[in-house]
Amino acid sequence: MRTLFSALLFAVGLLSGTAWSAMPGDIRQTGFVYCVNGTVTTFNPQMVSGGLVVDTLAAQLYDRLLDVDPYTYRLVPELAASWDVLDNGATYRFHLRKDVTFQKTAWFSPQRRMNADDVVFSFRRVFDRQSAWHNVNGGSYPYFDSLQFADAVHSVRKLDKYTVEIRLTRPDASFLWHLATHYAPVLSAEYADKLTAEDRQEQLDRQPVGTGPFMLSRYRTGQYIRLARNPTYWKGLPRMSQVVIDMGAGGTGRLSKLLTGECDVLAYPAASQISVLRDDPRLRLTLRPGMNIAYLAFNTRKPPLDRTDVRQALSLAINNERLMESIFYGTAETAASILPRASWAFDTSAQVTEYNPDKARAQLKALGVQNLHLTLWVPSASQAWNPSPLKTAELIQADLAQIGVAVTIIPVEGRFQEARLMEMSHDLTLTGWATDSNDPDSFFRPLLSCAAIRSQTNYAHWCDGELDEVLQKALRSQQLASRIEYYGQAQAMLAQSLPVLPLAWSLRLQAYRADIQGLVLSPFGNASFAGVHRDKSGEKSSW
Q: Distance between CA 340 and CA 348 in Å, rounded?
A: 11
Q: Distance between CA 415 and CA 52 in Å, rounded?
A: 12
pLDDT of residue 9: 41
Q: Is residue 34 part of a domain?
A: no
Q: Distance between CA 530 and CA 519 in Å, rounded?
A: 9
Q: Which amino acid is at 260?
A: T
Helix (H) or strand (E) holding 96: strand 91-96
pLDDT at 496 over 90: yes
pLDDT of residue 21: 41
The pTM of this model reads: 0.83
R_g over Cα of the chain: 23
* 250 pLDDT tier (thresholds 50, 70, 90): low
Residues 379 and 494 in one domain: yes
Residues 199 and 322 in one domain: no
pLDDT at 392 over 80: yes
pLDDT at 490 over 90: yes
Number of domains, the chain = 2
The string of pLDDT tens digits covering residues 281-310 is 999 998 888 889 999 999 999 999 999 999
When pLDDT is averaged across residues 160-169 and rounded to a whole number, the result is 98
Q: Which of 70, 72, 71, 97 is nearest to 83 (CA)?
A: 97
pLDDT of residue 423: 62
Do the beta carbons of residue 39 and residue 413 sit within 8 Å?
Answer: yes
pLDDT at 543 over 80: no
- Residue 57 sits in a domain whose CATH number is 3.90.76.10
The string of pLDDT tens digits covering residues 451-460 is 898 878 899 9
Most confident region among 12-26, 183-197, 258-272, 274-288 by mean pLDDT = 183-197
pLDDT of residue 104: 98
pLDDT of residue 20: 40
pLDDT of residue 22: 41
Q: Which of residues 185, 220, 255 is at a domain's end? A: 220
- Residue 324 sits in a domain whose CATH number is 3.10.105.10
The string of pLDDT tens digits covering residues 362-377 is 999 999 999 999 999 9
Q: Is residue 463 part of a domain?
A: yes
Range of the domain at 442: 292-506
* 5 pLDDT tier (thresholds 50, 70, 90): very low
Residues 348 and 452 in one domain: yes
* 461 pLDDT tier (thresholds 50, 70, 90): very high
**In Å, what is the CA distance from 83 to each residue of 177, 181, 386?**
13, 16, 37
Most confident region among 305-319, 403-417, 511-525 by mean pLDDT = 305-319
CB-side neighbour CA atoms (13 Å) of 311: 25
Q: Which of 407-411, 454-458, 465-469 has the lowest mean pLDDT?
A: 454-458
Q: Is residue 189 part of a domain?
A: yes
pLDDT of residue 418: 54
Q: Which of residues 168, 201, 220 is at a domain's end? A: 220
The string of pLDDT tens digits covering residues 52-77 is 899 899 999 999 999 988 888 889 99
Q: Is residue 247 part of a domain?
A: no
Q: Is residue 511 part of a domain?
A: no
pLDDT of residue 16: 38
**What integer best gives the mean pLDDT of the chain?**
89
Residues 347 and 490 in one domain: yes
Residue 245 makes CB contacts below 8 A (sequence gap 6+) with 34, 36, 52, 56, 57, 224, 225, 226, 227
Q: Is residue 271 part of a domain?
A: no
pLDDT at 2 over 80: no
Q: Distance between CA 247 and CA 256 in Å, rounded?
A: 14
Q: Distance between CA 62 and CA 202 in Å, rounded?
A: 18
